[in-house]
Structure 1
């Protein structure tokens, strides 16, 4: 992960990634009044507001929108493009969607309905899972080395 995040930011990024199930269209068009989580009384608008609150509280906004010049149109092209993006680009995409929604009402909802939000959140979750696994491996190696070192000292 080229950009460094502290443990609280990583936890917040994981919270955002967990919205991938909420922002899933399942082939139907969602509205702001849709209740996307079965059995929940929370509307999609409330989930969007909560997502944006987590995003903003953690200062994830990045207004470098140069990625837009390279972003493809169409769902299949988008699926391929998303496979290569990093966390920084994902945050830029969501910053753009959040701020554009302030000017063009319903833009964020369109990004949910065209599956862009879900694809980006799936990718974010993949990156976080890979990074967390690597961190755990490094911690395990350090623990093993420290344990071996301690055992060697005791035997002397």
Structure 2
């Protein structure tokens, strides 16, 4: 990951990425009173509030919205564009959606219903998963190298 995050922020990023299944758009538009998780008593509004709380508590907001200016107009090409973003750009896009929601009522809900939030969180999940996989490969390489070290063979 190009930007450095502490272990608490990484844990928060992982938590946020898990919301991709909650913020999954469906055939019928979600409302703030929808219960998006089968069997859950929580409404979509409660999930949104929880998401924003995690986001803010871990200082993940980034108000450099330059990445938003590069977004394709409308939703055409959004998925391809989202798949090029790094974590920093994803956080910028999510910050924009969260703060715009303060001015334009239900803006974040619109971003859920048009799949933007789901696509951003899926991209975040994929980056975190790939980063974890690479760390595991590095650890394996170190173990293999250390196991073949002459000092270890002499024992």
With the length of structure 2 as denominator, give the TM-score of the two structures: 0.94
Q: Quick check: which one's helix share is greater? A: 1
> Any idea what the Cα deviations from partners look like across 1:92-118, whole Å, max 9, x if unmatched?
011111111111111111110111000
Alignment correspondent of 2:33: 33
Residue 44 of structure 2 corresponds to which residue in structure 1? 44
Give 1:152 deviation, angstroms.
3.0
Structure 1 residue aligned with 2:147: 147
Q: Matches of residues 2-151 of structure 1 in structure 2 within 5 Å?
A: 2-149=2-149
What is the distance in 2 between the residues matched to 1:142 and 1:6? 23
**Structure 1 unaligned regions, length at least 5:** none
How far did 1:8 drift? 2.1
Cα contact 1:75–1:115 (8 A) shared by 2: no
TM-score (norm 1): 0.93
Q: Provide, for residues 2-34 of structure 1, a one-character-per-residue CA deviation record: whole Å limited to 9, x for no partner.
A: 112222221111110000000001222000000
5+ long unaligned stretches in structure 2: none
Moved more, 115-124 or 2-11: 2-11
Is contact 2:26-2:113 (8 Å) kept?
Answer: no
CA distance in structure 1 between the partners assigned to 2:24 and 2:39 by the alignment: 16
Alignment partners' CA distance in 2, 1:76 and 1:126: 21
Q: Distance in 2 between matches of 1:25 and 1:11?
A: 25
1:148 Cα deviation (Å)?
A: 2.7
